[in-house]
Structure 1
Amino acid sequence: MNAPVRRRRRRLPLNVLLGLGLATIVVAVAVLAPVIAPFDPMRMAAGPRLAAPSLAHLFGTDEFGRDLFSRVVRGAHLSLGIGLAAVVAGLAVGGLIGLVAAFAGRLVEAVLLRVIDLLYSFPDTLIALALVAFLGPGLVNATIAIAVSLVPFYARVAYSLAVAERAKPYVEAARLAGIGSGRLVRVHVMPNIGQSLIVMATLGFSSAILSAAGLSFLGLGVQPPSPEWGAILASGRNYITKAPWILIFPGLAICMTVLAFNLLGDSLRDLADPRRTAPQRAGA
């Protein structure tokens, strides 16, 4: 083993601990948001308008006098909920498509791969924007749009992993024993690729949160007065010189969350197999 690989492995536990620690903080804040938030996040005139950060209002107040700390904390609950729902749905649908493409025969494989490649050629944010423009703005529609935008990525990942398993001797032995494709995938293939899919889901989680914030910032996602991070940024952009804290704190929350899950996902992927490379999209 060469020196760079040894140094990389020595650094790996620190990356895992850092990513896990940051992710734990973000998740804890999201779960405990109703307890941590000192004010109702949608209560107007909780303090003076555009008040600077202070002991009474840790992150200051917005243009309606709403407590910004309460809104950012409750926004964690909302943003993580959107990300989790989108990733679970996208992984379920995309994973199924990838597995079907790998084990359903050459014709089905060729057709599904061409469709996946076509969708994969578009940025996931563009797909989400087109879908939410068609479905209309809102929490549910934004979640559906983000989930659909993640499907090509997870389909490609699942297909790549399934093809690698398909070439292994145990698959040929199972086919010779008369095991059907459905049972083969369910009993033998899925347990072997499940860990890698979960790791890639962790990486896709940060992309889903960024997409949700972007849609809300453009007015196509979660609608005001809901305290979603992107929506808070959109409402504060007119006060960037007068009250920059309205943009600073939700922006830091987004950065910390994305960094946490990217670190965690990268570290878990390296732990699972340092030599393995998987297809990635920009922002994932």
Structure 2
Amino acid sequence: MALNQPPGPVHWLGTDHMGRDVFSRLVMGARTTLEVGFGGALVAFVLGGGLGLVALSFGRWAERGMFAAIDLVRALPDVLLALLLIVALGAGAGPVVIALGIAFAPFFAYVARAIFHREAAKDYVAAARLFGGGRLHVLRLHLAPNLAGGLVTQAAILLPRCVVTESVLSFLGLGSSPDEPTWGRMVADASHYIEISPHAILAPVLAIILLTLSLSILGEAVRRALDPLRETAREP
């Protein structure tokens, strides 16, 4: 008797086609969506930044080989690559996190390479090498701290894309397990009843839009805060 009810004092955002409270599922789905999105961004951060820096520290040939492989991965669209990986790894939150990490890792590798070459040309790196510092020593003590800001900024920028990609995968039925509410699955379920229950699809869609906009604004704020050239730009 509670199927597809409109918003009211009992059910603030109404109910879906199975009589479930939309607001409760929206709150529970936020946890799953954020966990998978943050997990994917973290895996991409560690995998892309780590592999890129290790390849760069071992010289030109290692850099060329590693980034040739990264370019092959980057040639595929993010969603398509994640779909292929999930088909290979299986459905569930864990495979989705791994798939998002691999799909977005090239962005971190490119950022790491750009910052590495910029910092490697500076005098403090040349001085460290003059005093006998090896490649890994210079990377660990001198370059890595200066690379962290750029990689963190990239993570903040890519986090909204991870969230949207996770929602797309859930919409296609390839995200978390069916018993876990996610915003993408809520959109997919409610799309069949959009004419008689538009509120059930409008709530998760608006939630995705507001979350991605908020994360994008946060990412832009982080980028400005960690921009190494911001002080130089303020000088007259």
TM-score interval (norm. to shorter)? over 0.9
Residue of structure 1 in register with 2:85 after alignment: 131
CA distance in structure 1 between the partners assigned to 2:228 and 2:22 by the alignment: 42
Task: After TM superposition, give the deviation of residue 133 of structure 1 in Å.
Answer: 1.4
Residue of 202, 224, 235 corresponding to 1:270 = 224
Is 1:98 the counterpart of 2:52 in the alignment? yes
Residue of structure 2 in register with 1:176 after alignment: 130
Q: Which runs of 5+ in 1 are unaligned?
A: 1-46, 277-284
Residue of 163, 167, 170 corresponding to 1:213 = 167
TM-score by length of 1: 0.78
* Count of aligned residue pairs for this structure pair: 230
Task: After TM superposition, give the deviation of residue 102 of structure 1 in Å.
Answer: 2.1
C-alpha contact (below 8 Å) 2:43/2:97 kept by paired residues: no
Residue of structure 2 in register with 1:147 after alignment: 101
CA distance in structure 2 between the partners assigned to 1:122 and 1:274 by the alignment: 32
| Greater CA drift, 262-271 or 184-193 | 262-271
Residue of structure 2 in register with 1:252 after alignment: 206
Residue of structure 2 in register with 1:44 after alignment: none
C-alpha contact (below 8 Å) 2:171/2:184 kept by paired residues: yes
**What does the per-residue CA deviation read over 1:18-48, in whole Å, with 9 as the maximum and x for residues that have no partner?**
xxxxxxxxxxxxxxxxxxxxxxxxxxxxx70
Paired residue secondary structure (1:188): helix
Residue of structure 1 in register with 2:233 after alignment: none
C-alpha spacing 1:179/1:275, structure 2 compared with 1 (3 Å): closer
Task: After TM superposition, give the deviation of residue 275 of structure 1 in Å.
Answer: 6.2
C-alpha contact (below 8 Å) 2:40/2:96 kept by paired residues: no
Q: Which amino acid aligns with 2:116?
A: A
Is 1:188 the counterpart of 2:142 in the alignment? yes
C-alpha contact (below 8 Å) 1:50/1:60 kept by paired residues: yes
Task: After TM superposition, give the deviation of residue 115 of structure 1 in Å.
Answer: 1.2
> Which stretches of structure 1, 4 residues or more, deviate above 2 A after TM superposition?
270-276
TM-score by length of 2: 0.93
| Greater CA drift, 236-245 or 221-230 | 221-230
Q: Report 1:10-159 matches (<5 A).
A: 48-159=2-113
C-alpha spacing 1:178/1:275, structure 2 compared with 1 (3 Å): closer
**What does the per-residue CA deviation read over 1:85-136, in whole Å, with 9 as the maximum and x for residues that have no partner?**
1111110010011112322111101111211122122221111011011122
CA distance in structure 2 between the partners assigned to 1:247 and 1:202 by the alignment: 27
Q: Which amino acid aligns with 1:237?
A: S
Task: After TM superposition, give the deviation of residue 272 of structure 1 in Å.
Answer: 2.9
Q: Which amino acid aligns with 1:273?
A: D
Task: After TM superposition, give the deviation of residue 224 of structure 1 in Å.
Answer: 2.1
CA distance in structure 2 between the partners assigned to 1:132 and 1:239 by the alignment: 28
Q: Which amino acid aligns with 1:112?
A: M
**What is the identity percentage for the equivalent residue pairs of Structure 1 and Structure 2?**
38
